[in-house]
């Protein structure tokens, strides 16, 4: 065979192999919810505890404060965004072997996009409309995933 034909054959084989390797499995919505609950206990609850009992005098002062819950949510959002941008996973997502990636390249997302995704999640969660979207889509994207151009997939490398 000529070298040119061998090279074309090799390129076709490489292309088929790459297509097989990039097969993506979307995370189940139940796993996403369980990961969120795990993150609430592992990240958000300690933040609230520290704010309430280290910086304030207790739950009564926390409940009367308007800024303390805002600080708690902001800290949680920053930690969430840092974890997604550096690892593509939070502790809850790691427990259920899922990760958040760019919807086109399947690479990690930036800090700003991860923080925007968190803000979009807060908006989506208050309306509840966007949280039911994954039940009607093949790619299981919620409204905050669409707004941030992300997708939650099963992490086969882990």
59 and 52 in contact (C-beta within 8 Å)?
yes
- Angle of CA points 142, 148, 98, to nearest 5°: 60
pLDDT over 90 (residue 16)? no
Residues 53-67, mean pLDDT to the nearest whole number: 94
20 in a structural domain:
no
Give domain status of residue 83, yes or no. yes
For the CA atoms of 130, 158, 82, 143, the dihedral, rounded to the nearest 10 degrees, stands at -10
Residue 62 pLDDT > 60, yes or no?
yes
**35 domain residue, yes or no:** yes
Check whether 88 has a pLDDT greater than 60.
yes
**Residue 40 — very low, low, confident or very high, per pLDDT cuts 50/70/90?**
very high
What pLDDT does 157 receive? 62
Counted domains in the chain: 1
Q: How confident is the model at residue 147 (pLDDT cuts 50, 70, 90)?
A: very high
16 domain residue, yes or no: no
Q: Where are the beta strands (DSSP E) in the chain?
A: 98-102, 150-154
The answer to whether residue 75 sits within a structural domain is: yes
Domain span including residue 115: 25-154
24 phi/psi in degrees, rounded to 5: -110, 135
Stronger pLDDT, 50 or 24, i.e. the higher one: 50
Q: Residue 127 — pLDDT band, cuts 50, 70, 90?
A: confident
State the pLDDT at residue 23: 78
Q: Is residue 17 part of a domain?
A: no
Paired with 150 in beta bridges are: 102
Q: Is residue 5 part of a domain?
A: no
Indicate whether 19 belongs to any domain.
Answer: no
């Amino acid at each position: 065979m000529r070298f040119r034909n061998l090279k074309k054959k090799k390129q076709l084989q490489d292309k088929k192999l790459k297509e097989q390797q990039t097969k993506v499995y979307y995370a189940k919505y139940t796993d996403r919810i369980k990961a969120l609950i795990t993150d609430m206990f592992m990240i958000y609850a300690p933040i609230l505890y520290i704010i309430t009992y280290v910086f304030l005098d207790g739950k009564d002062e926390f409940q009367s404060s308007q800024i303390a819950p805002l600080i708690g949510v902001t800290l949680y959002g920053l930690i969430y965004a840092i974890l997604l941008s550096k690892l593509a996973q939070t502790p809850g997502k790691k427990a259920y072997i899922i990760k958040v990636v760019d919807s086109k390249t399947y690479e990690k997302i930036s800090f700003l996009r991860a923080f925007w995704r968190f803000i979009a999640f807060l908006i989506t969660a208050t309306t509840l409309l966007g949280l039911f979207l994954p039940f009607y889509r093949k790619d299981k994207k919620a409204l905050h995933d669409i707004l941030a151009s992300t997708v939650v997939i099963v992490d086969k490398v882990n």
